Each structure stands twice: as C-alpha cells, then as structure tokens.
Amino acid sequence: MRVLFFDSSDDVAGSARAFLSAARALARREHAVTLACSASSEMEALATAAGVHVVPVPRDGSTAGDAWRLREVLKEKFIEAAFVQSERDQLAVASAMRLAERGAVIRRIGAGAGFESSRTGRFASMMATARVMFSSEAEAEAARRNGLKLPAVVAPLGVDVADYEAVEPLTRKALRIHESGGLIACVYEPSARGRLITAMRAMALLAPRHPHLHLAIVGRGSEDQELKMHAAALGITGVVSHLGLSVDPRALVAAADLVWVAANCDAAAFGYLDAMALRKAVIADRGPLAAHYVADGITGCLVPPADSAETAALVASFLARDELRQAMGNAARARVAREFREEVMAEGFERAAQAAGDRATWAGT
C-alpha cells in the first residue's frame, strides 16, 4: 500500500504521536509511507529520525495551498489512502485527491473524542471518498448511534513495551528535589487544566505531613504563569516543578513513585500507556477514557473528579505502601503488553488503508 499521513498540528504528545507511531509501524510492514507535516516542527524531526519519508509543508499555510502541494505528493507517490485528524486537514487532502483524481481519506478521531461533522467535513466527504477511524469499537458504536453514516474502522492505540527498556529515569539531583522524597509525575495538557488544579490542591493538603514530597508537571502549557500563581496561592511553590517541554516525559515518569494524568483524548491515552509500560501505578479522574486504559484498583486508581481531599488521602496511602505500588506497576506493564500492543494498532491502520485503497470505492472512478 502507498499511504499518506497528513497532520498540520504539532502536538507530539497527543494526536500527532498517534500518527507518528502508526507511520513507523506501517513502514516496518513494508508499506510505502509518506508523512506530511509542518516544516521545521518537532514531528518532522522525530519522523526523519525514525526513517519515515517526510514532506514538509509551510506552517500556518492555507487549506488551498496545502491542497495544491499535496496534489503533487499524491501524484508523485501514487498515494492510495490518506490519514488525517481534523476536518481542516480532511478538506485539504480531499481537495488534493479531487485534483489528482485518486485516493480515499480516513479521518481519525482522537481517543475519547466524540465524532462531530461540520459543513467543512461534509463538503470534504463529497470531494473524496471518506471513512472514519476510532480508537475503540465502543466509540465507533456511539458515533453510529449518533448518526454517523460514513464507514467506521477501529485502530486502538498501543505501544511496544520493548521501547521503554532504554528509558533512563531522571535523577532527583537533575530535578533539584530531596533525594529521599517521594515524586509524583503529572502528565499535563492545557485542556485538562481543572484536573491539574485538583492535583495541586491535593498537593497542598499533603505537603504539611510530607515535606519532601514533590509534584513535577510535564507537558505543553505546564509552565503557564497562571498555574505558577495558583501554586503560590496554595503555598506549594517550593514543592512543585513546572517543567513544560524541557524534559522527556517518559524519563520523568520512570523516576516517579506515582503518575497523575491530567490530560484529555490522545494525550491522556498515551500518558496512561507510558506510565503503565514503565511499571507505574496511575491516578486519574474517573471517566470512560481513563477506565478504558486503567483497571481501577489493579493497575491504578480512578478518583472522583475535582475531589482533592479524597485524592490526597489516596496518594498518602499509596506513598506508605511500596509493595502495593510495585504490584500495581507490574500489573500495569502486563496489561499494556497484553491488551494495548502497537502491533494491534498497526493492524488496524493497515486494514483501514487496504479498505480505503479499493479503487472501486473512490469518488469519481
């Protein structure tokens, strides 16, 4: 198969990471893979390092401009199927396919994100044959119940646990925290700000009895000045680090005693998977996405949303029980290796590409 991945965003912690993982996996299966992404982006650098053929497109380009550039890629590479993750990108690729007179589009919906279709998406679906990809059969079925008419395919997110063997944990010295103190790693992205506030309030409750406990927040937006001001208002500035994108999230998670995921959609899913693959117990707000990945009471704990008091009590209990954390971490690793394998994700993308590559279904053929 000759496959294109197009992502005009640069969210390598979330949806773009899903595409990068899938592109590498399909390339290893000897498919001809091309990844189009923003020029000079982190995604371009990571894809190039992974040996994936990259076509850079100008940042903040127009939809029409991207369509014209992608038209040449489609014709030059004889692309049969293209994956996108937004209606904007779907319209760009669909327009390119109409101009090149070839191909079908698969629009991937992020884990835990409901399917929505605006006029842009409906118009794009008329320009070129379209399918919709979900991360679970439950999400696909929910979309069908809500009126989805396009063909739906499923490709669950997954990771290769072997990739985590080389992850070097950050040292307490590098983080400038007490050598014998507990460390909570918080994986963050801005749409889950409320969840991070809950974590910070729980930290304020824990700090008086656990003076060497530290909360390290990693991810885009975690260095936001308002978050730092909130920490100051809670009196926990000295026990909270706002790391932003300055460290490898997996290295921080590997060093932690507990992992708190304050994120949504793909960023949350990969946060759970990274922690579990690194044998870490996970704390997260109770919800459908968290419950899909985290087995409550077995690989981690799901807490009531916005309940900082109960969360603080749970964290205190975990910190006092090393054997429980270790048992949960081992169970988490086994669950990822069994139920969330990258190989299964690759098979889902491969099936979707093969179905979309059926020329008899292409618009205008």
- Scan for tokens 């893979």, then name that residue: 33
pLDDT tier at 244, thresholds 50, 70, 90:
very high
Q: Do domains 2-158+342-361 and 163-339 have the same CATH topology?
A: yes
CATH value of 163-339 in 3.40.50.2000, 3.40.718.10, 3.40.1160.10, 1.10.10.10 = 3.40.50.2000
With a pLDDT cut of 90, the percent of the chain lying above it is 83
The whole-angstrom separation of Cα 297 and Cα 295 is: 6
pLDDT recorded at residue 360:
74
CATH fold for domain 2-158+342-361: Rossmann fold (3.40.50)
- Asked if 252 and 243 count as a contact pair (C-beta separation under 8 A), the reply is yes
Using CA atoms, how far apart are residues 150 and 342, in angstroms rounded to an integer?
A: 26
Task: Look at residue 60 and tell me whether its pLDDT is greater than 90.
Answer: no
DSSP 249-299: HHHHHHH-SEEEEE--HHHHHHHHHHHHHTT--EEEE-SHHHHHH--BTTT
- pLDDT value at residue 364: 54
Residue corresponding to tokens 């909570």: 184
Buried b (16+ CB within 10 A) or exposed e, 59-81: eebebeebbebbbebbeebebbb
> Rounded mean pLDDT of the chain?
93
Q: Of all residues in the chain, what percent carry a pLDDT higher than 70?
A: 98
Rounded to two decimals, the pTM is 0.94
pLDDT tens by residue, 172-188 = 999 999 888 899 999 99
As a whole number of angstroms, the distance between CA 343 and CA 346 comes to 5
DSSP lists the bridge partners of residue 33 as: 3
Residue 365 has pLDDT above 70, yes or no: no
List, for residues 2-22, the tens digit of each pLDDT value: 999 999 887 677 888 999 999
Question: Could you tell me which residues are beta bridge partners of residue 104?
Answer: 81
**pLDDT at res. 363:** 64
The answer to whether residues 169 and 250 touch, using CB atoms and an 8 Å cutoff, is: no
Amino acid sitting at position 305? P
Domain spans, the chain: 2-158+342-361, 163-339
